[in-house]
């Protein structure tokens, strides 16, 4: 039966991996760069990340020495908003094709479905790396110039934000990787559920529901456990540069938790992609 009729092909792994992956990579790059919403969503994510970071830097005051706030994390606050747009972009990378039926043409051109998913993940990672780097560097630059005006000065124990500082560099690099992992999480969920609205709801629920539940739970031990498994709370621990011993999970370990969420989503998505009809 023809693939265009919706039936599953006889084999989902026909063709050599390098050739299939190369074709899929070129096709995914063409689709992503020609899709009108891609550029708009990336710009929106950048604008929201920087705007929220600037707003936070402008609003928070540190009039006294030792106010105890993390200047780097304040400058990067916008990622909590910008990540939602990245998640939507990742979901549309897959669900948009299912919505239009274009996925059948994609799988006809490249029967190896895992190669198709790997190509989508590779292209998505590349564009989010670029846009995420721009967002993080711009946010830190804005914080460098705005925070001193609100009391975050050397006299109060705050050196100017700079990537020459090890913890700041780690927070910057980790924040970019955080956005990449959010994109891969969205890609995996969208591949598993196909429907755009459902996928967006699941990803945003995973990101923002845990913090809400933490506020409802009164037991400190349960709160700590929830913080340790929450994809957003654990992942954003990578931004912390002060009071690290007070964190429920370490910076890199927290990013590892988010990586596990993304890996599970991609694994489930890839298994369902191989088993189901287009």
Domain ranges of the chain: 12-275
What percentage of the chain exceeds 90 in pLDDT? Answer: 63
- Residue 14 Cα to chain centre, angstroms: 32
pLDDT in tens, 196-250: 999 999 999 999 998 899 888 888 898 999 999 999 999 999 999 998 999 999 9
What band does 65 get if pLDDT is binned at 50, 70 and 90? Answer: low
d(CA 3, CA 107): 8
pLDDT in tens, 82-108: 999 999 999 998 988 887 778 888 878
- The average pLDDT across 6-28 equals 63
**Closest C-alpha to 232, from 207, 257, 209, 255:** 207
Instruction: Collapse the DSSP code of 260 into the 3-class scheme (helix H, G, I; strand E, B; otherwise coil) and give the result.
Output: helix
Contact residues for 54 (Cβ-Cβ < 8 A; gap 6+): 78, 139, 142, 146
What band does 173 get if pLDDT is binned at 50, 70 and 90? Answer: very high
Is the pLDDT at 5 greater than 60? The verdict is no
């Amino acid at each position: 039966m023809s693939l265009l009729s919706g039936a599953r092909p006889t084999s989902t792994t026909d063709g050599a991996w390098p050739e299939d992956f190369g074709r899929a990579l070129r096709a995914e790059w063409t689709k992503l760069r020609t899709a009108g919403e891609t550029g708009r969503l990336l710009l929106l994510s950048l604008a929201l990340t920087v705007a929220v970071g600037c707003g936070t830097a402008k609003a928070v005051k540190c009039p006294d020495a030792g106010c105890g706030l993390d200047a780097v994390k304040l400058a990067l606050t916008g990622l909590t908003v910008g990540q939602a747009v990245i998640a939507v972009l990742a979901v549309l990378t897959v669900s948009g094709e299912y919505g239009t039926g274009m996925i059948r043409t994609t799988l006809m051109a490249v029967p190896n479905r895992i190669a198709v998913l790997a190509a989508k993940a590779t292209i998505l990672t590349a564009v989010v790396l670029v846009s995420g780097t721009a967002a993080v560097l711009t946010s830190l630059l804005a914080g460098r110039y705005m925070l001193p005006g609100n009391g975050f000065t050397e006299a109060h124990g705050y050196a100017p934000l700079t990537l020459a500082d090890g913890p700041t560099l780690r927070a910057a690099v980790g924040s970019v990787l955080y956005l990449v992992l959010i994109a891969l999480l969205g890609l995996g969920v969208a591949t598993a559920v196909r429907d755009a609205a459902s996928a967006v709801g699941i990803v945003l629920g995973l990101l923002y529901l845990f913090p809400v539940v933490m506020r409802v739970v009164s037991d400190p031990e349960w709160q700590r456990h929830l913080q340790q498994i929450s994809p957003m709370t654990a992942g954003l621990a990578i931004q912390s540069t002060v009071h690290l011993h007070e964190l429920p999970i370490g910076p890199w370990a927290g990013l590892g938790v988010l990586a596990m969420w993304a890996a599970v989503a991609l694994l489930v998505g890839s298994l369902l992609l191989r088993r189901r009809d287009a």
